[in-house]
Amino acid sequence: MKKENQRNAFGETLLELGKEDSGIVVLGADLACSTKTEIFEKDFPERHFNMGIAEESLMAAAAGLAISGKTVFASTFAVFATARAYDHIRQSIAYTRANVKIVATHGGITVGGDGATHQITEDIALMRVLPNFTVIVPADALETRKVVRAVAKHPGPVYVRLGRADMPVITEGHDFNIGKATVLRKGKDVTLIGTGIMVYVCLEAAEELEKDGISTRVINLSTIKPLDEETIIKAAKETGAVVTAEEHNVEMGMGSAIAMVLAEHKHVPMKRVGIPDVFGESGESEELMEKYGLTKESIVKAAHDVIKRKDRLSTLEQVRRRLRKAEKELEKHKESEEGCEDEKARRGKEKKRERKRKAKR
């Protein structure tokens, strides 16, 4: 399967947008080579600003430029774009609804050898709780191009998370719309919902499950906020079991967001696949994915688990229905017996009155 890099897709699309709209400016933090904003900088040096290793200043300046009427793309590594500059994002961008697009690269653990200091696994949690923010995690380079174009037109603050590693292209033939999930594969037994690099892993898991005769639906949830609740609830109702998969801490990530929706609207067995509540470490991307359970095997195991729970719940529901039916029949029987007793009592009283009448004669 063809692989492409999301960062290259981002830089190339930025260049295209720069040619189309002179109001687009780009800010970086001394990492234009890594984030690929250098592609834009080569053609538009007067619209590219290197703020140095000062992410707080990067976000504050981005807010100022946005308030002055520019469409601003601010880009650096995800760990610095969120954790280091969070206060400035909250106060200067989210609170003011500034038209700033934070496109953060090197998200998750697939940063690899840079280790825990450069691997953020909490950014989705941080950004999705900020009022006024839209949060997007594209599944591949092709969708990244569509996302960058979409957010450039979208008013208000946006956080886009990109990975470092090359990723399989899996979204050909599918449109991207902010706030809408995409069904990549139909199925009726279980739903796998992935985001980012884990969408491809979900598709791999679906192939394995198909070998066991399990019809598997796969959803690409590229927009984490706002959630496409309609598609999520529909899938839960039609398949009865859900597994989520993300390259993010399982605490308060995409899976937790979906769990909240299902808790309120449709109770079904669910399992979250993601990074445990720990920091990352240095290693090759594939090794780290394996160590932290971000594999098709983990998703397959989770799918079997929720299906078993669904089957048990189905059995229990059948038992409950039989009990309810038996209770209704028993109630009817009691009512019938009570009716018979009332009739006997009525006849007894009638006979007693008849005897009294005969005795008077």
Active site residues: 55
Give the whole-angstrom CA distance, residue 171 versus residue 194.
Answer: 13
Give Rg (Cα) of the chain.
30
Assign residue 267 a region (left: φ > 0; alpha: ψ between -120 and 50; beta: otherwise): beta
Q: Pull the structure tokens for residue 233.
A: 């609830």
Q: Pull the structure tokens for residue 324.
A: 């309810």
Is the CB of residue 206 less than 8 Å from the CB of residue 187? yes
Give the whole-angstrom CA distance, residue 219 versus residue 33.
Answer: 33
Q: Could you tell me which residues come within 8 angstroms of residue 338 by beta carbon, excluding any fewer than 6 positions away?
A: none
b/e code 226-263 from CB counts within 10 Å (16+ = b) = ebbbebbbbbbeebbbbbbbbbbbbebbbbbbbeeebe
Q: Pull the structure tokens for residue 207.
A: 């192939």
